Amino acid sequence: MWPIRQERCSKLDRRGQQHPPPRRRGRPAIPLVRRHGCPCAVGGEQRVIAPFCWQPASAGLELDRREEGTDVDGDGWEIRLDREDFGSDVLGGPMIETLRAAYDLGLLLTWHRARSDSNAAAFFIIITTEGEYVLRVSNSRKTEAGLRFEVALLQYLSGAGYPAPRVVATRWGEPYHYAENFLLVAERIPGLPYDPANPLHLQEAGRVLAQYHQVVREFPQRLRAASRPVLPTLEAHGPAALATLAGIANRQVSAADRRRLSRASSYLWSQFIRVPEALAGFLPTLSQLVIHGSYGPPALVFDGHRLAGVVDHDRATYDIRALDLASALEAFARADHSQVGLDFELCAILMAAYREVERLPEHELAALPLVFRAQRLIKVLTATEDCLQKQGTTRQDENDVVTVVDVAETEANRLRWLEEQEHPLLQALGSSLVG
């Protein structure tokens, strides 16, 4: 078994005695919960016991009160033996046992769920006697081919000296493990998050993105994943998806939401036609490489003013570099308290830092405002198609359709802003085409 370091609780029970250790009866050493009466509980509710009791320091993670554990010895102590949803806050017994069997990570000291914007995986920080690790449990949509590509990219980046996570191999030398879901373990990069109030962090982010693009330019062709030809298909798929969504909305949402969708769709429809046509002349000349796909503040780890690590490579794919630049500018230069505009000063700082390291041709800079608009259309198309796919496989919740209406409305407003502000945006990006 993979034992957990245990420490006796420092508080006393109703009899004035320390909390006794539960009888294990040969079960896995995993987090304990107690239903009632523990002085460590809050308001008598079922909670994960604090670190000074009989479980690792994953304190504060609350279990679902509807879930049942296993009473070990009838005194109210319970062991959480399984939790089928690997996306939950709880690492169940089978998952811990799977990790112990597949990986040589030492003795488990503590774990906790890591916050992430990803809806494609759950992330856990695991601390053992051998070090600190990040466990990623992918959802069922993650393919083995996609995972092989990601692992190859991480190994290539690490070998080139780029601050990417180092993948931990299984006991039999494989870079990942499959147990109903794909598991990937990497060494945790210590450090602090991105500080938006620190201009040196923004400059460092721009420089390291440029370094990434320089490194991946030599990534072997045979290891590259097939690109997702999204941009050329916007004109063909976008209007049709909006029309189908409108039909569903007529049956499932309120009149006010239908009006919002109609107003947004009328503008988005024209953009799905005009933007791909305008981009057609640029696309053959734009640089292509393995883009990061989600380069933003959550992906960066800092040591002081120095960027110590770049994570979240699961969206990497072979595509035009301008998409990565647009995504980064969107992430780092969003105007304060605005869902629509960009802060031109932050755009200028990020792009100047990028161009210190990597050259950007004028025609690529000139294409960026159009790429920004294409990126907003991609978000609308992705949200719409996901909703339509769910409509065909499960019972559709009205809130799911309303969420897509919200996306369509927000992105339509962003597209209007980008169209109106193209000239000052080009100035901020540093293009000499603007006088």
- Mean pLDDT computed over 271-284: 92
What pLDDT was estimated at residue 92? Answer: 66
> What band does 79 get if pLDDT is binned at 50, 70 and 90?
very low
Tokens of 306: 């120095």
d(CA 226, CA 200): 36
Q: Per-residue pLDDT tens for 214-245?
A: 999 999 877 776 656 567 788 889 999 999 99
Question: Which tens digits make up the pLDDT trace of 108-164?
Answer: 888 888 876 666 688 899 999 999 999 999 887 788 988 999 999 999 999 999 999
Residue 425: per-residue pLDDT: 93
Task: Between 148 and 3, name the one with better pLDDT.
Answer: 148
Mean pLDDT for 58-69 is: 29
User: What whole-number percentage of the chain has pLDDT above 70?
Assistant: 73
* Under 8 Å between Cβ of 368 and 241: no
Q: pLDDT value at position 229?
A: 57
Higher-scoring residue by pLDDT: 217, 84: 217
- Average pLDDT on 334-355 reads 88
15 or 390: whose pLDDT is higher? Answer: 390
**Range with top average pLDDT, 1-5, 173-177, 233-237, 250-254:** 173-177
pLDDT at position 180: 83
pLDDT at 61 exceeding the cut of 60 = no
User: Cβ distance 74 to 87 under 8 Å?
Assistant: no
All domains in the chain, ordered by first residue: 93-188 (3.30.200.20), 193-429 (3.90.1200.10)
Per-residue pLDDT at 35: 30
The larger pLDDT score, comparing residue 196 to residue 1, is at 196
Lowest model confidence (mean pLDDT) among 82-91, 258-267, 269-278 = 82-91
Question: Each residue of 378-417: pLDDT tens digit?
Answer: 999 999 998 888 876 555 667 889 999 999 999 999 999 9
Number of Cβ atoms within 10 Å of the Cβ of 324: 23
**Confidence bin at 349 (pLDDT 50/70/90):** very high
Most confident range, picked from 7-16, 251-260, 321-330: 321-330
Task: Inform me whether the pLDDT recorded for 292 exceeds 90.
Answer: yes
pLDDT tens digits for range 302-336 = 999 999 999 999 889 999 999 999 999 999 998 77
Rounded Cα gap, residues 79 and 73, in angstroms: 10
Residue 91: per-residue pLDDT: 67
- The span from the CA of 158 to the CA of 186, in Å, is 12
pLDDT tens-place string over residues 24-47: 333 333 333 333 333 333 333 333
Q: What is the mean pLDDT of the segment spanning 73-97? A: 47
Query: Residue 38's pLDDT is what?
Result: 34
Q: Quickly tell me which residue has 């883009």 as its tokens.
A: 291
User: Rounded to an integer, what distance in angstroms lies between the CA atom of residue 392 and that of residue 388?
Assistant: 6
Question: 155-185 in b/e burial notation, b at 16+ Cβ within 10 A?
Answer: ebbbeeebbbbebbebeeeebbbeeebbbbb
Question: CA 81: distance to chain centroid?
Answer: 28
Mean pLDDT of the 262-280 span? 94
Q: In what order do the strands lie in the sheet with 300-303?
A: 192-193, 300-303, 306-310
144 backbone dihedrals φ, ψ, rounded to 5°: -65, -35
Residues 182, 142 contacting (CB under 8 angstroms): yes
Which residue type does 422 have?
E
Per-residue pLDDT at 258: 92
For residue range 151-202, what is the model confidence (pLDDT) as tens digits? 999 999 999 999 999 999 999 999 999 988 899 999 999 999 999 999 999 9
**What confidence score (pLDDT) does residue 430 get?**
85
Task: Compute CA distances 101 → 58, 122, 135, 171, 329, whole Å.
Answer: 22, 20, 15, 8, 43
